A and B are shown apart, each in its own frame.
Chain A
Amino acid sequence: MKTCKTVLALAGAAALAVGFVAGPVAAQTPDEIQSRGTVNIGLLVDFPPFGILDEAGNPDGYDADVARLLADDMGVELNLVPVTGPNRIPYLVSNQVDILVASLGITPERAEQVDFSEPYAGIEIFVFGDAGLDVSGPEGLSGQNIAVARASTQDTAITEIAPADANIQRFDDDATAVQALLSGQTPLMGGSNVVISQIEAMAPDRFDTKFSLRQQSQAIAVRPGSDELLDYINDFLTRVKADGSINALHEEWVGGPLPEFVVSGD
Chain B
Amino acid sequence: MNYQFNFAPVINNFDQLIYGALITIQLSVGAILIGTLIAIPCAAAKTAGIKPLAWLVNVYIEVIRNTPFLVQIFFIYFSLPALGIRFDPNTAALVALSVNVGAYATEIVRAGIESINRGQVEAGKALGLKGHQIFRYIILKPALRTIYPALTSQFIYLMLTSSVVSAISATDLAAAGNNIQSATFAAFEVYLVITAMYFVLSLGFSGLFSFIGRTAFRYPLAR
Q: Which residues of A contact B (CB under 8 A)?
A: 147, 150-151, 169-172, 176, 179-180, 183-185
Contacts and interface: CB of A to CB of B under 8 A. Distances in A.
Contact of A183 (B79, B89, B166, B178): B79
Name B's interface SS.
Answer: helix
B74 to A, nearest CB: 8
Interface residues of B, number: 16
A183 B82 contact: yes
12 contacts: A150-B178, A151-B182, A170-B169, A170-B179, A172-B167, A180-B169, A183-B81, A183-B82, A184-B81, A185-B78, A185-B81, A185-B89
Nearest to B77: A185
A172 B86 CA distance: 21
A146 to B, nearest CB: 10
B86 A184 contact: yes
A151 B82 contact: no
Contacts of B78: 179-180, 183, 185
Interface in B67-109: 77-79, 81-82, 86, 89
Given A147-B169, A180-B169, A185-B81, A170 B175 contact: yes
B221 interface: no
A183 B168 CA distance: 12
A150 B82 contact: no
Contacts of B166: 172
Contact of B86 (A170, A179, A185): A185
A242 to B, nearest CB: 42
A200 B79 CA distance: 20
B116 to A, nearest CB: 45
A183 B92 CA distance: 14
Contacts of A150: 178-179, 182
Interface string B145-172: 0000000000000000000001111000
Nearest to A172: B167
B222 interface: no
A183 B183 CA distance: 27
A170 B182 CA distance: 11
A240 B182 CA distance: 40
Contacts of A176: 167-168
Contacts of B82: 183
Contacts of A171: 167-169
Contacts of B178: 150, 170, 172
B201 to A, nearest CB: 22
A151 B169 contact: no
Q: Which 3 A-B pairs have the closest CB atoms?
A: A151-B182, A169-B169, A183-B78
A203 to B, nearest CB: 13
Nearest to A169: B169
Given A169-B169, A183-B77, 6 more contacts: A150-B179, A150-B182, A151-B182, A169-B89, A180-B168, A183-B79
Contacts of A180: 78, 168-169
Contact of A151 (B167, B168, B175, B179): B179
From B77, B169, B175, residue with most partner A Cβ within 10 Å: B169
Contacts of B182: 150-151
B87 to A, nearest CB: 9
A150 B168 CA distance: 11
A183 B87 CA distance: 12
A264 B175 CA distance: 41
A205 to B, nearest CB: 19
A121 to B, nearest CB: 26
B172 to A, nearest CB: 12
A165 to B, nearest CB: 15
Nearest to A145: B88
A172 B179 CA distance: 10
B95 to A, nearest CB: 14
Contacts of A184: 81, 86
Contacts of A169: 89, 169
A147 B178 CA distance: 16
Contacts of B175: 170
